[in-house]
Structure 1
Amino acid sequence: MAILIDPPTWPAHGTVFAHLVSDRSLAELHDFAGRAGLPEQAFDMDHYDVPAHRYDDLVARGAIAVSGRELIRRLRTSGLRVPARDRPETLRRVLGASWRRTVGRWQDRPDYVLGADLIERWAQPHRRYHDLRHLRDVLAALNLLCDPGPVPLPVALAAWFHDAVYDGLPGEDEQASADLARAELGPDRLGPEALPSERIEEVARLVLLTRTHSPLPGDHHGALLCDADLAMLAREAAGYRRYTLDVRAEYAHVPHADFIKGRTAVVRQLLELDPLYRTERGRELWQEAARANLRAELATLTATP
């Protein structure tokens, strides 16, 4: 667990830059950077860019000098590495294309504005887990579950809307997101291109189902959405650690003891879901790894003083 710095070899602005990272937490990194007087604008999602003339000083302050390769390895292992595919500009481009494929039947201006508005909602700065990455991952999981066929339109739209409103208020956020779907997909918004009312209600119903992730037997649409929303539980070790760090960051305002209590309850509830994934494909893809991750997290939570 340390602050790491690689050699200053990256050219920009008439000098060369090093990367300063933590292999434990962004809070530790920001604390070190603040005490060293590094400007906030030098932070780039998972590291600080520091000019060559600051290298020796930062090492003297306690940063451990490592090679660029070792820095990246340690950052990836920590779960804090932000790859290029997770950068905002990439996510906006990928999601914009996905939205256009989903609603290709809507070719007028409201279609474009609605997609852009949803992307901006998912990009709100207070989000740390329920963000553009999560939306992309849910859509990708739906494609896996439905391959080789298309994702049913109500399910795809429910994925876009299911956390469109996110204020960290369980139950209320889902209701507000469902209400947003009803408003945005109706005739007042889309005119003659609006979905039939029964399909709009199906989208809203699916959004509300993400409160519990407990679709009834035979609810194919519900099973698809819930499985896709929980696919992140099956990430490899570094990815799962990143997920838990992001969840904690979203609840940074919650005292440590209260967070541990609440998170423990959530993990236990997920482990009690039987089956955890409702589609056969979801169980094949994710169930074993997800249960192992949840059990390991629960052991860590219950061992936390």
Structure 2
Amino acid sequence: MAILIDTPMWPAHGTVFAHLVSDASLAELHAFAAAAEIPERAFDEDHYDVPERRHADLVRRGALPVDGRTLARALIASGLRVPARERPKALAAPLRQRWERLLPGRAALGGELLERWSEPHRRYHTGAHLFAVLTALQGLTDDREVPRAVELAAWFHDAVHAGTAGRDEEDSALLAETRLRDAGLAPGEVSEVARLVRLTADHQPEADDDGGQLLSDADLSVLGREPAGYRRYTQQVRAEYAHVPEELFRAGRAAVLDQLLGLDPLFYTLRGRELWLAHARSNLRDELARLRDGGRASAE
């Protein structure tokens, strides 16, 4: 394992910045940054931004100086690189555009929802998760128009997130009922959106529930990521529950994984099974094995 730093060349705030990364472990990177008294606010998803004046000191402390291309290759090879589609800050404008197409003239409501998805305690249930669900819906429908009620349910399904399973989904559904009724949507559509939001509590739509199956599959599409992407997801989930002691977290997370592995089907649509099922089963089994073998679900 090594800490790498590239040449300072990224201008901001009257100076230029370098990137500080690990080629293997975020834990190693955070430990190095803490020892060097780099503030937490300098961390940006997979690297620290450090000003030019700190470069020589960080090299003396053990960071390996490399060029930008070498650093980028090492970060990608490590599996720690966070792609743009998973960076909430980069997704604000695309999400606002999607909302305007979905519900024209209701920018204030869209802004409220984006503020909720951007709450500082969130690590996984951020705008990146919302963007991923919306993108997955498009993939499930082969870019045909997604039913508006389903897309609205995606926007509302984690709009309330306090970390309380069942209660969060219910509160999100109640928020959808209130806001969409105030926005002038027909009662039937409001009820359908709320029903779909509540369904994300257990991801078990009925066989004839096309909208529920679309939303359930899109919401669980993260389970079918490639291993590095799935590992980032598990780390984000752990960070959201940082207040929970490790032993309790492992027990609770293992119960969630057992429940997901017990779902038959896990994905309801044919397209969802084609896209995500094989990776999802493997990811879930591997994480559960790590949890039961010393609690290494958040392995770097």
Q: Same fold (TM over 0.5)?
A: yes
What's 1:51 paired with?
A: 51
How many Å separate the matches in 2 of 1:17 and 1:195?
Answer: 49
- Cα shift at 1:67: 4.2
For residues 13 and 146 of structure 1, do their structure 2 counterparts lie closer, same or farther at Cα, with a shift above 3 Å needed? closer
The answer (yes or no) to whether the contact 1:79–1:240 under 8 Å persists in 2 is no
The answer (yes or no) to whether the contact 2:86–2:129 under 8 Å persists in 1 is no
Q: What TM-score do the two structures reach when normalised by structure 2?
A: 0.90
Matched letter for residue 4 of structure 1: L
Q: Secondary structure at the match of 1:7?
A: coil
The answer (yes or no) to whether the contact 1:59–1:65 under 8 Å persists in 2 is yes
What's 2:61 paired with?
A: 61
Match of 1:277 among 254, 267, 270: 267
2:169 counterpart of 1:169: no
- Cα shift at 1:78: 4.2
What's 1:139 paired with?
A: 134
For residues 55 and 45 of structure 1, do their structure 2 counterparts lie closer, same or farther at Cα, with a shift above 3 Å needed? same
The answer (yes or no) to whether the contact 2:3–2:22 under 8 Å persists in 1 is yes
What's 1:97 paired with?
A: 97
What's 2:215 paired with?
A: 225
- Matched residue count: 295
- Identical-residue share of aligned pairs (%): 59
- Cα shift at 1:205: 1.0
The answer (yes or no) to whether the contact 1:78–1:241 under 8 Å persists in 2 is no
What's 1:245 paired with?
A: 235
Match of 1:127 among 122, 126, 146: 122
Match of 2:147 among 136, 144, 152: 152
What's 2:20 paired with?
A: 20
Match of 1:264 among 254, 261, 271: 254
Pairwise CA RMSD: 2.1
| Structure 2, unpaired ranges of 5+ | 296-300
| Structure 1, unpaired ranges of 5+ | none
Q: Secondary structure at the match of 2:161?
A: coil
How many Å separate the matches in 2 of 1:67 and 1:267?
Answer: 41
Provide, for residues 267-304 of structure 1, a one-character-per-residue CA deviation record: whole Å limited to 9, x for no partner: 12111111110111111111111111112212222212
For residues 37 and 199 of structure 1, do their structure 2 counterparts lie closer, same or farther at Cα, with a shift above 3 Å needed? same
Deviating more after overlay: 54-63 vs 244-253: 54-63
What's 1:75 paired with?
A: 75
Q: Secondary structure at the match of 2:175?
A: helix
- Cα shift at 1:55: 2.7
The answer (yes or no) to whether the contact 2:88–2:126 under 8 Å persists in 1 is no
How many Å separate the matches in 1 of 2:250 and 2:291?
Answer: 6
How many Å separate the matches in 1 of 2:68 and 2:247?
Answer: 37
2:216 counterpart of 1:216: no
How many Å separate the matches in 2 of 1:50 and 1:148?
Answer: 41
Q: What TM-score do the two structures reach when normalised by structure 1?
A: 0.89
Q: Secondary structure at the match of 1:303?
A: coil
